[in-house]
Structure 1
Amino acid sequence: MNLHIGPLSVSNSKINGLKIIQVKMVTEGRGTVRELYRQSSYADLLPDTVSAWSQVNLTRTRRGAVRGLHGEAMAKLVTVAYGSAFGVYVDTRPESDTAGAIETVALKPGVQVFVPQGVCNGFQALDDDTEYLYFFDNEWVSGMSGTALSPLDPALTIAWPIPIDANNREQISEKDAKAPSLRDITGL
């Protein structure tokens, strides 16, 4: 039986604090085990960030649909459990050296992104029934502080893989379509 162990690794991005993580994966004849989170390993990868997760959500999203861009008052660890997605991250933190920076990541099972507080997170599902997993360091509450940014803002020049119809509510929520622009939020 062939055994392959892919190690846990992390790389930096264009956005301060945003990390792209390849999870530890063990593959053999029966399939693959992905280690989504191990506190001791992540403490080494992400020192001085998150010591515990308070909430975990899983969304199932149709191909072509967009969720976000949202930057609530919580750090997030995001990944795809099933399918694939085009992940988009925008730094809307006014005090950040990378304010206005945009990072895109091809998300598939085994690829994670650590999103610091104040960085907007969004994605477009590229497969039917894509399952997107969020770990939050704070519990979400209605009215919590944060930022919402329109994924349709032309100034972002995001090349969404599947064209977005701003009026199609099965593809984008009214709230996301009508969210402010980056210029409205940061003046950039």
Structure 2
Amino acid sequence: MSMQITDMRSSETSIEGLLIFTLKQVSDERGTVREFFRASAHAGALGGELPEGGWRQVNVTESGYGAIRGLHGEATTKLVGCVSGAAFGAYLDARPGSASFGKLVTVDLSPGTQVLVPAGVCNGFQSVSPEGSQYLYCFTEEWRPGMPGSAYSPLDEGLGLDWPIPVDAGNPAQISAKDAAAPKFSEQIVSG
């Protein structure tokens, strides 16, 4: 195997402002070097502008096989992706007044793929690797209790969201009680 280079590229989704990035990476016999973030490349993919304020907090979650986190739509832009393992990402536009309000996009995530999640778009994922996954979040605002935003149940049948691994709502290794009991987005739309 000689050196292989993959250039960064981006693609739009049906949710306004939600972008999928394939990261620049260089691979050879020793493995792979991957750029998780490069200001100039990301700014170019975003039309010359990075999210205002830059990244203020970075978190990594470690999640076991089948575990779900989300759907959370804080008032902060997020850059998310797997640094190890794989996940099934789900993104729901919960921004009132958005041209893509109510749209759901799913993305298969593995190292080298990331998603830019606009503020107010709900982010959730399921770890699909038998060895678990590490999911990295970059935030434009520091997370704090009571931060404005929304949270909806990832088990809302009305979303038509098919998680790859069956979910037992009573199993705390798969989903938190808080996420399982969150309001259903589909019911908010009907009653709202």
- Whether TM-score is above 0.5 comes out as yes
Letter in 2 for 1:86: F
What is the CA–CA distance in structure 1 between the aligned matches of 2:20 and 2:189, rounded to whole Å? Answer: 25
What is the CA–CA distance in structure 1 between the aligned matches of 2:43 and 2:189, rounded to whole Å? Answer: 31
Aligned to 2:36: 36
Indicate which of 142, 166, 170 corresponds to 1:167.
170
Aligned to 1:63: 65
TM, length-normalised to structure 2: 0.94
For residues 17-96 of structure 1, the aligned pairs below 5 Å read: 17-47=17-47, 48-51=49-52, 52-96=54-98
Aligned to 1:4: 4
1:142 aligns with 2:154: no
What is the CA–CA distance in structure 2 between the aligned matches of 1:158 and 1:99, rounded to whole Å? Answer: 16
Give the C-alpha shift of residue 186 in structure 1: 4.1
Q: How large is the RMSD of aligned CA atoms in angstroms?
A: 1.3
Q: Which runs of 5+ in 2 are unaligned?
A: none
Q: Which runs of 5+ in 1 are unaligned?
A: none
What is the CA–CA distance in structure 2 between the aligned matches of 1:73 and 1:104, rounded to whole Å? Answer: 21
Residues 94, 186 of structure 1: 8 Å contact kept:
no
- Deviation string 1:96-141 (CA, Å, 9 cap, x unpaired) is 0110000000000000000000000000000122000001000000
TM, length-normalised to structure 1: 0.96
What is the CA–CA distance in structure 1 between the aligned matches of 2:188 and 2:40, rounded to whole Å? Answer: 37
Letter in 1 for 2:164: P
Letter in 1 for 2:173: E
**How many residue pairs end up in the alignment?**
188
Q: Which moved more, 1:75-84 or 1:174-183?
A: 174-183
Letter in 2 for 1:169: P
Letter in 1 for 2:107: V
Aligned to 1:179: 182
Aligned to 1:14: 14
Give the C-alpha shift of residue 41 in structure 1: 1.2
What is the CA–CA distance in structure 2 between the aligned matches of 1:88 and 1:13, rounded to whole Å? Answer: 12
Give the C-alpha shift of residue 181 in structure 1: 1.1
Alpha-carbon distance change, 158 to 183 in structure 1, aligned in 2, over 3 angstroms: closer
Letter in 2 for 1:41: A
What is the CA–CA distance in structure 2 between the aligned matches of 1:93 and 1:49, rounded to whole Å? Answer: 21
Letter in 1 for 2:32: T
Give the C-alpha shift of residue 183 in structure 1: 3.2
